């Protein structure tokens, strides 16, 4: 496999031809039924949520969807989630807890939507609430970054027992362009920033931020089929392991998983 730079991977992760959450849901979730709305304000189409079967196991699936066509991208707000999207996700996760089914999330967003209404409706609170509730949700959670996992807007559906990334996805505290313009005072240093920030699956696995990397095919045309197969295997295998744990152990291990990131002794 050719050696890609971090920026090459950013470009791949953002490629509009790349399979999206909807594509993976269609190809790996049987009997999928989508549910809508946060019950408070509206239905955020940047998040697809629902239930279905993966290899026979009923799961709740939550995926950020950027859209493929121009029209769909507009409808889905380019995958930039509003508070009602995070609240819909949380509502469905609480339902998963009630019915003892695992939660699978697909993360793909340039960030939480920085709009007027988003602030009025408490974007910060919505993200914070998800972090808190996902840390103690009494059912297994597997989160998978499938494209662009940018900032708090990605993290808000990316807390769980196992965090995986597709080989050509990125996960970052902010975009390389943002990082370059703030820390290098020069937005054109985006490539340098991408390298420096450690945002690739490989770097983040080394840093202990993610657990697993899911392989992709070098051939973009067959990537959906290839990744779907990998995803299905990964989810099945991981759920089998997580299902063996008692709820207490599951939650303790989840707490420890985050507790140890950036831990130091006096």
Partner 1 sequence: MVIDKIKKVNGTEDEKPHKNTKASDMLVGKWVKCDACKEILYKDDVHKNLSVCPNCGKHFRISARRRIKQIIDEGTFEETYENLPETDPIKFDGYLKKIEALREKTKIQEAVKTGFGAINGNKVVIAVMDSNFLMGSMGSVVGEKITLAIEDAIKDKLPFVIFCVSGGARMQEGMVSLMQMAKTSAAMAKLDDEGLLSITVLTDPTTGGVTASFASLGDIILAEPNALIGFAGPRVIEQTIGQKLPEGFQRSEFLLEHGFIDKIVERKDMKKTLAQILELHKN
Residue with Cβ nearer partner 1 (106 or 179): 179
Nearest approach in angstroms of CB 8 to partner 1 is 19
30 or 114: whose CB is closer to partner 1?
114
- Report which of 107, 181, 99 is spatially closest to residue 150, judged by C-alpha positions: 107
- Min. distance of Cβ 145 from partner 1 in angstroms? 11
Shortest distance (Å) from residue 203 CB to partner 1: 9
CB of 55: closest distance to partner 1 in angstroms? 28
C-beta closer to partner 1: residue 123 or 168: 123
What is the distance, to the nearest Å, from the Cα of residue 55 to the centroid of all Cα atoms in its chain?
21
CB atoms within 10 A of CB 77: 22
Q: Where does 198-255 show beta strands of DSSP type E?
A: 212-214
Identity of the residue, 127 or 214, whose beta carbon is nearer to partner 1 in the bound complex: 127
Q: DSSP class of residue 262?
A: T
Rg of the chain over all Cα atoms, to the nearest angstrom:
18
Binding site for partner 1 (CB under 8 A): 112-116, 118-125, 127-129, 131-133, 135-136, 151-152, 155-156, 159, 171-174, 179, 182-183, 196-199, 204, 207, 209, 254-255, 258-259, 261-266
- Residue 122 CA from chain centroid, whole number: 21
C-alpha to C-alpha distance for 126 and 118, rounded to whole angstroms: 10
């Amino acid at each position: 496999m050719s050696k890609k730079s971090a920026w090459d991977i950013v470009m791949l992760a953002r490629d509009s031809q790349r399979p999206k959450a909807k594509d993976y849901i269609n190809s790996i979730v049987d009997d999928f039924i989508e549910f809508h709305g946060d019950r408070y304000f509206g239905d955020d189409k940047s998040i697809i949520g629902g239930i279905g079967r993966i290899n026979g196991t009923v799961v709740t699936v939550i995926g950020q969807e950027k859209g493929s066509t121009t029209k769909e991208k507009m409808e889905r707000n380019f995958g930039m989630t509003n508070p009602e999207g995070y609240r819909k996700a949380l509502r469905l996760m609480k339902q998963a807890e009630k019915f003892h089914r695992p939660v699978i999330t697909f993360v793909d967003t340039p960030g939480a939507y920085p709009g007027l209404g988003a602030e009025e409706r408490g974007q910060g609170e919505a993200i914070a609430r998800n972090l808190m509730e996902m840390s103690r949700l009494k059912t297994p959670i597997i989160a998978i970054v499938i494209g662009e996992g940018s900032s708090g807007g990605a993290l808000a559906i990316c807390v769980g027992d196992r965090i995986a990334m597709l080989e050509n996805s990125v996960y970052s505290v902010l975009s390389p362009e943002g990082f370059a313009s703030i820390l290098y005072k020069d937005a054109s240093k985006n490539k340098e920033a991408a390298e420096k920030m450690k945002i690739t699956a490989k770097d983040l696995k080394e840093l202990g931020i993610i657990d697993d990397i899911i392989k992709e095919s070098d051939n973009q045309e067959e990537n959906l089929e290839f990744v779907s197969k990998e995803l299905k295997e990964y989810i099945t295998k991981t759920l089998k392991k997580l299902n063996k744990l008692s709820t207490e152990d599951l939650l303790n291990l989840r707490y420890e998983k985050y507790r140890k990131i950036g831990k130091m002794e006096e």
